[in-house]
Structure 1
Protein backbone atom coordinates (compact mmCIF):
# COMPACT_ATOMS: atom_id res chain seq x y z
CA UNK A 1 0.00 0.00 0.00
CA UNK A 2 1.27 3.46 -0.82
CA UNK A 3 1.63 5.49 2.37
CA UNK A 4 2.32 8.92 0.88
CA UNK A 5 3.28 10.77 -2.29
CA UNK A 6 5.58 13.80 -2.35
CA UNK A 7 6.06 16.44 -5.04
CA UNK A 8 8.61 19.21 -4.96
CA UNK A 9 7.90 22.92 -5.01
CA UNK A 10 10.08 26.02 -5.00
CA UNK A 11 7.20 28.34 -4.11
CA UNK A 12 5.15 26.78 -1.31
CA UNK A 13 2.58 29.63 -1.32
CA UNK A 14 1.80 29.08 -5.04
CA UNK A 15 1.61 25.34 -4.45
CA UNK A 16 -0.76 25.85 -1.54
CA UNK A 17 -3.12 27.99 -3.67
CA UNK A 18 -3.16 25.30 -6.37
CA UNK A 19 -3.60 22.20 -4.20
CA UNK A 20 -6.00 23.86 -1.76
CA UNK A 21 -8.26 24.65 -4.73
CA UNK A 22 -9.24 20.98 -5.03
CA UNK A 23 -7.82 18.65 -2.38
CA UNK A 24 -10.18 19.77 0.44
CA UNK A 25 -13.13 18.85 -1.81
CA UNK A 26 -11.69 15.32 -1.93
CA UNK A 27 -11.55 15.09 1.85
CA UNK A 28 -7.94 16.16 2.44
CA UNK A 29 -7.06 18.46 5.32
CA UNK A 30 -4.00 20.73 5.11
CA UNK A 31 -1.42 20.50 7.86
CA UNK A 32 1.65 22.70 7.63
CA UNK A 33 4.81 21.08 8.90
CA UNK A 34 8.13 22.96 9.02
CA UNK A 35 6.96 25.29 6.23
CA UNK A 36 5.92 22.46 3.90
CA UNK A 37 2.42 21.23 3.10
CA UNK A 38 0.92 17.94 4.22
CA UNK A 39 -2.51 17.06 2.86
CA UNK A 40 -3.90 14.21 4.93
CA UNK A 41 -7.16 12.32 5.10
CA UNK A 42 -8.63 12.70 8.59
CA UNK A 43 -8.70 9.71 10.90
CA UNK A 44 -12.11 8.14 11.34
CA UNK A 45 -13.08 6.79 14.78
CA UNK A 46 -12.34 3.08 15.15
CA UNK A 47 -10.83 2.94 11.63
CA UNK A 48 -7.23 2.46 10.50
CA UNK A 49 -5.53 5.50 8.93
CA UNK A 50 -6.58 6.24 5.36
CA UNK A 51 -3.72 6.51 2.90
CA UNK A 52 -2.01 7.93 0.99
CA UNK A 53 -1.12 11.34 2.33
CA UNK A 54 0.07 13.94 -0.18
CA UNK A 55 3.06 16.15 0.63
CA UNK A 56 4.37 19.26 -1.10
CA UNK A 57 7.92 20.05 -0.02
CA UNK A 58 10.98 22.03 -0.89
CA UNK A 59 13.64 19.59 -2.16
CA UNK A 60 15.82 18.32 0.70
CA UNK A 61 19.00 18.73 -1.34
CA UNK A 62 18.41 22.50 -1.70
CA UNK A 63 18.27 22.25 -5.49
CA UNK A 64 15.37 23.46 -7.60
CA UNK A 65 12.18 21.41 -7.71
CA UNK A 66 11.54 19.65 -11.01
CA UNK A 67 8.74 17.51 -12.41
CA UNK A 68 9.53 13.98 -13.53
CA UNK A 69 8.78 13.20 -17.15
CA UNK A 70 6.16 10.44 -17.07
CA UNK A 71 5.42 10.95 -13.37
CA UNK A 72 1.86 11.77 -12.38
CA UNK A 73 -0.32 11.73 -9.28
CA UNK A 74 -3.99 10.85 -9.76
CA UNK A 75 -6.80 11.79 -7.38
CA UNK A 76 -10.15 10.01 -7.58
CA UNK A 77 -13.25 12.20 -7.42
CA UNK A 78 -16.87 11.32 -6.73
CA UNK A 79 -18.28 12.19 -10.16
CA UNK A 80 -17.60 13.44 -13.66
CA UNK A 81 -19.04 16.81 -12.64
CA UNK A 82 -16.55 17.01 -9.76
CA UNK A 83 -13.71 16.30 -12.21
CA UNK A 84 -14.83 19.31 -14.27
CA UNK A 85 -15.40 21.57 -11.26
CA UNK A 86 -12.08 20.76 -9.60
CA UNK A 87 -10.18 20.99 -12.89
CA UNK A 88 -11.60 24.51 -13.33
CA UNK A 89 -10.76 25.43 -9.71
CA UNK A 90 -7.19 24.21 -10.08
CA UNK A 91 -6.73 26.19 -13.30
CA UNK A 92 -8.06 29.32 -11.59
CA UNK A 93 -5.58 28.69 -8.75
CA UNK A 94 -2.53 28.81 -11.00
CA UNK A 95 -2.44 25.41 -12.68
CA UNK A 96 -2.13 24.83 -16.40
CA UNK A 97 -4.26 22.58 -18.57
CA UNK A 98 -2.67 19.31 -19.65
CA UNK A 99 -5.89 17.77 -21.01
CA UNK A 100 -9.49 18.91 -20.63
CA UNK A 101 -11.87 16.65 -18.70
CA UNK A 102 -13.37 13.90 -20.79
CA UNK A 103 -13.16 10.26 -21.79
CA UNK A 104 -9.97 8.82 -23.26
CA UNK A 105 -10.00 6.04 -25.85
CA UNK A 106 -7.16 4.22 -24.10
CA UNK A 107 -9.10 3.66 -20.88
CA UNK A 108 -12.32 1.98 -19.78
CA UNK A 109 -15.73 3.20 -20.89
CA UNK A 110 -16.41 5.02 -17.59
CA UNK A 111 -12.92 6.44 -16.96
CA UNK A 112 -13.43 10.23 -17.09
CA UNK A 113 -10.30 12.29 -16.47
CA UNK A 114 -8.84 15.80 -16.60
CA UNK A 115 -5.11 16.52 -16.51
CA UNK A 116 -3.26 19.52 -15.05
CA UNK A 117 0.20 20.77 -14.25
CA UNK A 118 0.74 22.42 -10.90
CA UNK A 119 2.67 25.73 -10.82
CA UNK A 120 5.93 23.74 -10.61
CA UNK A 121 5.22 21.42 -13.54
CA UNK A 122 4.07 18.32 -11.63
CA UNK A 123 1.39 16.44 -13.57
CA UNK A 124 -1.91 15.82 -11.77
CA UNK A 125 -4.93 13.78 -12.88
CA UNK A 126 -8.44 14.15 -11.50
CA UNK A 127 -10.63 11.18 -12.45
CA UNK A 128 -13.94 9.43 -11.94
CA UNK A 129 -14.59 5.83 -12.89
CA UNK A 130 -18.19 5.43 -11.71
CA UNK A 131 -20.11 2.77 -13.66
CA UNK A 132 -23.37 4.45 -12.60
CA UNK A 133 -22.60 7.54 -14.67
CA UNK A 134 -22.86 7.73 -18.46
CA UNK A 135 -19.92 6.12 -20.20
CA UNK A 136 -17.91 7.01 -23.28
CA UNK A 137 -20.02 4.89 -25.62
CA UNK A 138 -23.43 5.70 -24.14
Structure 2
Protein backbone atom coordinates (compact mmCIF):
# COMPACT_ATOMS: atom_id res chain seq x y z
CA UNK A 1 0.00 0.00 0.00
CA UNK A 2 1.33 3.45 -0.88
CA UNK A 3 1.64 5.80 2.11
CA UNK A 4 2.89 8.91 0.30
CA UNK A 5 4.18 10.23 -3.01
CA UNK A 6 6.80 12.97 -2.97
CA UNK A 7 7.58 15.30 -5.85
CA UNK A 8 10.34 17.86 -5.97
CA UNK A 9 9.55 21.53 -6.36
CA UNK A 10 11.95 24.41 -6.82
CA UNK A 11 9.56 27.14 -5.61
CA UNK A 12 7.15 26.25 -2.80
CA UNK A 13 4.94 29.31 -3.43
CA UNK A 14 4.47 28.50 -7.13
CA UNK A 15 3.71 24.89 -6.27
CA UNK A 16 1.22 25.91 -3.58
CA UNK A 17 -0.64 28.18 -6.04
CA UNK A 18 -0.73 25.43 -8.68
CA UNK A 19 -1.82 22.55 -6.42
CA UNK A 20 -4.26 24.62 -4.34
CA UNK A 21 -6.01 25.75 -7.54
CA UNK A 22 -6.05 22.39 -9.32
CA UNK A 23 -7.19 20.44 -6.27
CA UNK A 24 -9.94 22.99 -5.55
CA UNK A 25 -11.24 22.43 -9.10
CA UNK A 26 -11.76 18.69 -8.47
CA UNK A 27 -12.82 18.86 -4.83
CA UNK A 28 -9.41 17.71 -3.65
CA UNK A 29 -7.72 18.31 -0.32
CA UNK A 30 -6.21 21.54 0.95
CA UNK A 31 -2.56 21.82 1.93
CA UNK A 32 -2.18 20.57 5.51
CA UNK A 33 1.42 21.64 6.16
CA UNK A 34 1.76 24.47 8.70
CA UNK A 35 2.57 27.97 7.40
CA UNK A 36 6.31 28.39 6.86
CA UNK A 37 6.88 24.65 6.58
CA UNK A 38 9.46 23.72 3.89
CA UNK A 39 7.09 21.20 2.24
CA UNK A 40 3.48 21.02 1.10
CA UNK A 41 1.22 18.10 2.05
CA UNK A 42 -2.11 17.18 0.46
CA UNK A 43 -3.96 14.34 2.18
CA UNK A 44 -7.10 13.03 0.50
CA UNK A 45 -9.57 10.69 2.12
CA UNK A 46 -8.41 7.07 1.70
CA UNK A 47 -5.47 8.08 -0.49
CA UNK A 48 -1.72 8.53 -0.08
CA UNK A 49 -0.33 11.88 0.98
CA UNK A 50 1.12 13.99 -1.84
CA UNK A 51 4.23 15.80 -0.55
CA UNK A 52 6.08 18.53 -2.44
CA UNK A 53 9.38 20.11 -1.48
CA UNK A 54 12.94 20.77 -2.49
CA UNK A 55 15.17 17.75 -3.05
CA UNK A 56 16.53 16.59 0.30
CA UNK A 57 20.03 16.10 -1.14
CA UNK A 58 20.28 19.75 -2.18
CA UNK A 59 20.54 18.89 -5.88
CA UNK A 60 18.30 20.63 -8.47
CA UNK A 61 14.70 19.47 -8.75
CA UNK A 62 13.95 17.28 -11.77
CA UNK A 63 10.85 15.43 -12.94
CA UNK A 64 10.40 11.75 -13.74
CA UNK A 65 10.59 11.02 -17.44
CA UNK A 66 7.75 8.59 -18.10
CA UNK A 67 6.11 9.14 -14.71
CA UNK A 68 2.53 10.38 -14.40
CA UNK A 69 0.30 10.82 -11.36
CA UNK A 70 -3.46 10.63 -11.99
CA UNK A 71 -6.13 12.31 -9.87
CA UNK A 72 -9.80 11.39 -9.70
CA UNK A 73 -12.25 14.10 -10.70
CA UNK A 74 -15.92 14.02 -9.61
CA UNK A 75 -17.35 15.19 -12.97
CA UNK A 76 -16.32 15.63 -16.60
CA UNK A 77 -16.67 19.40 -16.11
CA UNK A 78 -14.27 19.35 -13.18
CA UNK A 79 -11.61 17.77 -15.44
CA UNK A 80 -11.79 20.88 -17.62
CA UNK A 81 -11.79 23.15 -14.54
CA UNK A 82 -8.72 21.31 -13.17
CA UNK A 83 -6.91 21.79 -16.49
CA UNK A 84 -7.83 25.49 -16.70
CA UNK A 85 -6.77 26.09 -13.07
CA UNK A 86 -3.42 24.45 -13.76
CA UNK A 87 -2.76 26.54 -16.86
CA UNK A 88 -3.70 29.71 -14.94
CA UNK A 89 -1.26 28.82 -12.16
CA UNK A 90 1.98 28.06 -13.98
CA UNK A 91 1.21 24.65 -15.50
CA UNK A 92 1.62 23.64 -19.13
CA UNK A 93 -0.71 21.54 -21.27
CA UNK A 94 0.16 17.90 -21.94
CA UNK A 95 -3.30 16.91 -23.18
CA UNK A 96 -6.52 18.88 -23.55
CA UNK A 97 -9.65 17.89 -21.59
CA UNK A 98 -11.42 15.41 -23.87
CA UNK A 99 -12.48 11.78 -24.10
CA UNK A 100 -9.24 9.79 -24.18
CA UNK A 101 -9.07 6.75 -26.50
CA UNK A 102 -6.53 4.98 -24.25
CA UNK A 103 -9.22 4.81 -21.52
CA UNK A 104 -12.18 3.79 -23.65
CA UNK A 105 -13.37 7.37 -24.04
CA UNK A 106 -13.27 8.50 -20.41
CA UNK A 107 -12.89 12.26 -19.92
CA UNK A 108 -9.32 13.17 -19.03
CA UNK A 109 -6.67 15.88 -19.26
CA UNK A 110 -2.95 16.21 -18.63
CA UNK A 111 -0.73 18.99 -17.28
CA UNK A 112 2.82 19.53 -16.18
CA UNK A 113 3.18 21.39 -12.90
CA UNK A 114 5.59 24.36 -12.61
CA UNK A 115 8.49 21.90 -12.07
CA UNK A 116 7.64 19.65 -15.02
CA UNK A 117 5.95 16.79 -13.13
CA UNK A 118 3.29 15.18 -15.35
CA UNK A 119 -0.20 14.97 -13.89
CA UNK A 120 -3.57 13.83 -15.17
CA UNK A 121 -7.18 14.10 -14.04
CA UNK A 122 -9.92 11.68 -15.06
CA UNK A 123 -13.63 11.34 -14.50
CA UNK A 124 -15.18 7.87 -14.22
CA UNK A 125 -12.00 5.96 -15.02
CA UNK A 126 -11.82 2.86 -12.82
CA UNK A 127 -8.40 1.74 -11.70
Across the aligned residues of Structure 1 and Structure 2, the Cα RMSD in angstroms comes to 1.7
Is residue 94 of structure 2 the alignment partner of residue 94 of structure 1?
Answer: no
Runs of 4 or more, structure 1, over 6 Å off, are none
Alignment of 1:40-55 (within 5 A): 40-41=43-44, 50-55=46-51
The equivalent of 1:129 in structure 2 is 124
Alignment of 1:41-80 (within 5 A): 41=44, 50-80=46-76
SS of the equivalent of 1:68 reads: coil
The equivalent of 1:112 in structure 2 is 107
The equivalent of 2:41 in structure 1 is 38
Q: Structure 1 residue 4: deviation in Å?
A: 1.4
**Structure 1 spans left out of the alignment, 5+ residues:** 43-49, 132-138
Q: TM-score, normalised by structure 1?
A: 0.82
- Cα distance in structure 1, aligned partners of 2:65 and 2:83: 21
**Aligned positions, number:** 123
When Rg is computed on C-alpha atoms for both structures, the one with the higher figure is: 1
**Structure 2 spans left out of the alignment, 5+ residues:** none
